[in-house]
Amino acid sequence: MGFLETEERESLEIKSPRYEVDTSQNEQHQGDRTPSPASSENSALLNNNFPSNIQTLTNSFIRYSSTPRKLSASLSMRNASASLSFSYSMIIIGVLTIILVGMIMDSFFNRQKDSKGCHVSRMYPWFIKHDNFDSEQSKFAGKYGLYLYRDRVYDSNDQPTGIPALFIPGNAGSYKQVRSIASETSKIFSEIVSRDQRSLEMGVRALDFFTVDFNEEFSALHGHSLNEQAEYLNDAIRYILSLYPSTRKILNTNSPHPDPTSVIIVGHSMGGVVARTLFTMPNYQPGSINTILTFATPHVLPPAPFDWQISKIYTDINEFWRNGYSQSATSENSLAEVTLISIAGGNLDTVVCSDSANINSIVPASHGFTVFTTSIPNVWTSMDHQAILWCEQLVKVVATSLLSIVDIRRSGQTKPSAERMAAFRKFYLTGLEDPIDLGLNKSKREFFGIVNLEKVPHKFLNMGQRIVLNHLNLTTQVYLMPIPPPEPLSTFSLLTDQYLSKNPGIEILLCDVMPTEVPDQQNKKDLSLNIDLPTAPRLSCHIASNEASLLPASRRDLKHPFSGLTFNYLKLNVSDLGDYQYIAIMFYNKVSMEGFLIGEFFDERLTIMELNNSSMKDLIIDGIHIDEFPEHQTMVSYLHIPIIDSSLMTYKMSVRRVGCVEHFATFARQSISSMYESKFLVNVDNADLNIHGQSPFVTPVSAPNFRRGLELQFWMDPTCSIPLSIDIEWDFYGSLGKIIMRFQTVLVAFPFIIVIMTLRTQFREYDHGETFISFGHGLALFIRQTFLKFIIFVSALSIYQSVTRASKTYSLADLFPMDYASGDMQKAIKAKSSFNVNDTLLGNQDPFFWFLPPLFFIMSIGITIVSWILLAFIVRVLAGAAVFMSRRDLFVKNIVNKPSESKSRLRRHVIITLILFILVASFVPYQFAFIVAFLVQISSCVKSLIIARSVYKSTCVQESWDNYHYLQSILILFFMLLPFNVPVLMVWIRNMSVNWFAPFSWDHSILAIAPIIFYVEIITNGKMLPRSTGRKSRFVTNAILLIITIYSLLYGVRYTYLLYFSSLGFITWLIILHVRDSWIGKTMDIYMQSIFKRNMKIS
């Protein structure tokens, strides 16, 4: 019973003062054998509580085992009380962590989420496999496959004769995911473009969508697989381009068009990263790619940085792309003709954080941008990771945009990059963004015609007069608004629910009075109007309607922006109108209108309210309350809140306007200028405010006209004089869910650090003569003695990182004087040893969030506790099952008395180790060997626990428990290393399932697994780790664990894969400690001493 209590105490550590039995060795402790007061107390407890036979066994053990350690009563009671109090504290922390994680997950999935508004697209797919693309053309043809998509309704030809395009699926993605975009492209071309002779003359042709079958490979988890995909795709592009000279001749033998030299790339998720990797591969054909569209792609940081190769790929391609646009167009590495558009799904994407889709730091604004689906006209809805490929609203826009950039008359099969970017901006952006150069000048506007006002019904408005039209007051066909001087009325805006530039509808014209000469009639537009054009007086007019932006309709009966109804909004800067004298609003055919039109000139400076004096503390505690907004009554007003610029914070907004009879319901647009993320809040009443921002570890790049913070743009009926009342409150619960997507790797890195620090505590106690305390006791001791200091240190680092410049870089030359080194050597040292402050810790750049690292470490203690309890439970269940399934006495006796150093056992271990090394070097990845080692470690823990529970038949009571505690702690360390090994093993298993047995390169490195294999083989013998009695040995153990802790703290979140390799150093040191005490170690020690003495004599 007594020893069973000891075993139970090890599990939860919430008993009264622990029963300590000294196990130190005789040769290590000389002198008095008199029991200490603590030992006397424990003996009294044993005498009072243990049965006589167990008491006799215990006394016999104390008498015949090693010399008891001298401990003061105060020290013993202090340790006991610490174990008692901190054990309960650990349980409280664990429970609170579970509750907090549950709240975070609930917030993540259910709070501050946009409404789903996607319609399912329909298609009739047909995939034609290209078997001719075989192993002679690519060495990966046996692993991957190439298909050509055809729609059974719109594509009658199974040969590629149009414009080549290639779809790249993402992590675990299917080649069939191309069907929605490809089908819609075929539909639009067949039903619309093919019937437009002008479009055909401009070189528009159907797109041939090829797609690649990667067998749903896990490209996000394995860099080697990503490189294989990139190499295969470059071979596939060369093959695709080689098809067209022959297939086009079949269609038209006298085709004047050049053979294609480039393909359009569409990539989903990691497929977008693979697309960018193509340019860095040795088999890349320069000029073979000029347009890339990516969907929900993590461009900036790897989503799962557990593999060093994938982290290196990200570093290499980002550096390549940053430099590629600065090189001349004739350079092989130039990206001057490459455009990249990154489309992000927003907060419904729970797989890839849309922050990392931001390419502002990689691609200049002249060649690409990032846009959210909530911003795209006629889409206006957020999307999850899969829906972004099949959402009907988005698919239509993407298909139309792709057809607008193709030009079969050019060898690249697309228009020049400037024209492509103009087309993409037209289809993907709202037109309300500041950085967009709309080219608002007279020479670029389409000429409408000559309008004679003598016989056309018209009406002149007064200078600066607002126009408000509806079905009640529409009286004429043309309304003329005089254009005032730029000061003070600097801007004109117009909002209507009517069609523009469409019959029946409305045309917005910019006109000036012209002389009696009629211009060349060839420049006129065929008006198709019932309007006579006399010779005088006349207005020369140009079209401004096509400069209007499409906005979602806002009515009292609408709740979402994706209703399908739209408004047209036109905004013109008066200073850009040049010599124009009038803005003419012209109605086609008949003077009637069912909706509304409102237009006005205003001073835009008076419509902007800046809340520059608000602080984050005021925002969190008091919120923002505006009783009257705007200060000047206009149709459009702006509220700029610089303090709201973090993607980790969410807010609730309430908007009130009571007592108005309006032409339209008040609606708003929330936006940030760092990337094109806009959200429209129609019929705004109560709304969630959340944004995406800069990714951690990325130095922010200021875009043109960059303005920090959130901007809210309100449209309200100016005919009602009642202002808006706006309240904005911080949403604490909604903010919790934003943490998990930004700092996922923290859940791996920080618990690993806690385990390392706990091991440091255990080894420190053990090397100073204590028993090897359990992991739970070691964790409690760490919390009591070290954790507060550790948290203060982490907080100081976090504060420094958040307040310093993000681009601050240090090197060894900055930290240590190097006057002795030459200038070239100093430069080399700086280049090799430099590190950026932004790459460390959490990559945080906001001083307000300095508390996140300490908070994450407190949560990591709870995660570590849960992991420890889980593993202890598994080991105990397996141990109980093993004993139950066997005859207990025979089973335990066989385990306890089995010789650990028999020759047959040693021979068997050597053979198994050699076989494992051969398999790793030739066939299986080293991650497979790690999983084997992990399972063997579980087996060793089970065996050790059975032995410890059977101490009444053993002569080494405490040593058995020491060994179990030691093995259990190493098991927990191995458990923390599983995320670095399981993903690659999944990739290997997937390759096996498709009969692909080619070995990975780095993943067959014996050095990456040899220390763990050797170590597991050593400790399976059941031999306890010898104490490090020497000061140097204790110092090395402590130093190694401290170095791993500091290094993991600084770089564990950014370069997570380093945690595994850092642990190999510690495992190697444990091997040295084990071997040093064996006959091999002693023989080597004697040999080295003899060599040293010999050299001393010679010298």
Alpha-carbon torsion, ordered 1000, 1006, 1011, 1016, to 10 deg: 80
- Burial track 1027-1056 (b if 16+ CB lie within 10 A, e otherwise): bbeeeebbeebeebbeebbebbbbbbbbbb
Integer Cα distance of 554 and 668 in angstroms? 9
Smallest Cα–Cα separation from 783: which of 17, 74, 90? 90
Burial of 873 (0-12, 13-18, 19+ CB in 10 A): exposed
Quickly list H helices, 885-925: 888-897, 903-922
Which residues on adjacent β-strands are paired with residue 129? Answer: 147
What contacts 24+ positions apart, CB below 8 Å, involve 457-461? 457/591
CB atoms under 10 Å from CB of 897, counted, come to 9
Taken in order 627, 633, 638, 643, the sign of the CA dihedral is: negative
Active site residue 16: no
Alpha-carbon torsion, ordered 859, 860, 866, 870, to 10 deg: 160
Integer Cα distance of 687 and 656 in angstroms? 12
Smallest Cα–Cα separation from 153: which of 196, 186, 177? 186
In sequence order, which residues have a C-beta less than 8 Å from that of residue 55 and are 6 or more positions away?
Answer: 2, 46, 47
For residue 95, the SS3 value is helix
Measured CA to CA in angstroms, residue 168 lies from 266, 541, 609, 1013 at distances of: 6, 47, 46, 39
What's the distance, Cα to Cα, between the start and end of the chain in Å? 64
Measured CA to CA in angstroms, residue 390 lies from 167, 181, 399, 744, 846 at distances of: 14, 7, 12, 27, 37
Integer Cα distance of 628 and 572 in angstroms? 27
Measured CA to CA in angstroms, residue 546 lies from 374, 483, 502, 543 at distances of: 22, 19, 10, 7
Smallest Cα–Cα separation from 941: which of 958, 963, 908? 963
What backbone phi and psi angles, to 5 degrees, belong to 1010? -55, -45
Residue type, 606: L
HSE-CB at 338 with a 13 A cutoff on CA atoms is 28
Integer Cα distance of 987 and 536 in angstroms? 78
Helices 746-767 & 1031-1051 angle (0-180, nearest 10) = 170
Tokens of 146: 């190439």
For residue 590, the SS3 value is coil
Residue 769: left if φ>0, alpha if ψ -120 to 50, beta else—which one?
left
Whose tokens are 């290209």? That residue is: 130
Whose tokens are 């033998």? That residue is: 253
Three-state secondary structure readout of 714-763: EECCCCCCCCEEEEEEECHHHHHHHHHHHCCCHHHHHHHHHHHHHHHHHH
Catalytic residue among 138, 186, 269, 404: 269
Smallest Cα–Cα separation from 1059: which of 1046, 1068, 1071, 1072? 1046
Integer Cα distance of 861 and 754 in angstroms? 7
What backbone phi and psi angles, to 5 degrees, belong to 601? -95, 145
CB 930 within 8 A of CB 977: yes
Residues annotated as catalytic are: 269
